[in-house]
Amino acid sequence: MAFVQLAEGELNYQLEGPPGAPVLVLSNSLGTDLGMWDTQIPAFAEHFRVLRYDTRGHGRSLVTPGPYSIEQLGRDVLALLDALQIERAHFCGLSMGGLIGQWLGINAGHRLQRLIVCNTAAKIGDPSIWNPRIEAVSTGGQAAMLALRDGAVSRWFTAEFAQAHPDRVTPITDMLAATSPQGYAANCCAVRDADFRDQLVQIQVPLLVISGTEDAVTPPSGGIFIQEHVEGAEYAEFHAAHLSNVQAGDAFSQRVLAFLSAGA
C-alpha cells in the first residue's frame, strides 16, 4: 500500500498489474475500502495496471470534516491520477463509486478511456433515508457503525449467498464496522446530495452499466435509467444484491473485461 499527499491529508492506494499496461481505477462503495475488489484482482491485474484506493473517509485514507460532495471525491481521483502521472484511465465504481464515475464522465471525460458504473443510480435515495442515518452515526459513533454492519448483510447480499458464503461476506461487512463514523456520515451527505439525472447526456465516453437483480438499495431501474440516457451505453445485470462484484464474482469480472477489451 502507498499514499498520495493531498492538501488535507493522505489518500491510500494500491497499484497492481503489469507496468505499462492500461490503467484501470476501482472505486469502492460507501462503507467499504479497496479490499472490496479482492475478488476481481487476479483477473483484472492480468490485463491492466489496477489502481484501487480508499475513498476519503474510508479505510486508511484521510478523514476530514464533512459534509463531503461527489465533486470533492471526484477531484480526489483526479489528484490521484495527477500524482501518479496517469493522463487517462479506465474507471469502474460501485454504488458511491458509481456516482463518482458519473461525475468524472460528466466533468472530466477527457481523463477517461472507458467507464463502468455498478449498482448505482443518477440519484440514490432521498433525504428521508439519509438524514436519520447521518444523525445516528454522528451521535452513536462506532456503536452505530456496528449496528449498520449487522443490517448490511441483507442489503449487500442475497440471503442464500450470505448463508452459503460467510467467508466472503464477513470480511466485507467488517469493513463497514471499521469505517470512521465521521467519514461515513460525511460520505452519506455526498451520496444524499448527488443528482446527475439531468447531466447524464453529457457523458461521451463508452459506458457500461451493471445492476443486480435483487438489489434493493439501487434497483435495476436506476441502472437502466442511466443506460437509456447515455448514448451507446451498454447494460448488464447479474443475480446479486448490492455488491454484485462480490456475489457475481467471475461473471462480473469477465463482463467488465469484455467491455474494456472492446476498446483496445
Q: Render each residue's pLDDT in the chain as its tens digit; 264 residues.
A: 799 999 999 999 999 999 999 999 999 999 999 999 999 999 999 999 999 999 999 999 999 999 999 999 999 999 999 999 999 999 999 999 999 999 999 999 999 999 999 999 999 999 999 999 999 999 999 999 999 998 899 999 999 999 999 999 999 999 999 999 999 999 999 999 999 999 999 999 999 999 999 999 999 999 999 999 999 999 999 999 999 999 999 999 999 999 999 976
Strand order from edge to edge, sheet including 10-16: 2-5, 10-16, 49-53, 23-27, 89-94, 112-118, 207-212, 234-238
Backbone angles phi, psi at 156, to 5 degrees: -90, -25
Backbone angles phi, psi at 65, to 5 degrees: -60, 140
Q: Domain 2-261 is in which class?
A: alpha beta
Distance CA 54, CA 22 (A): 21
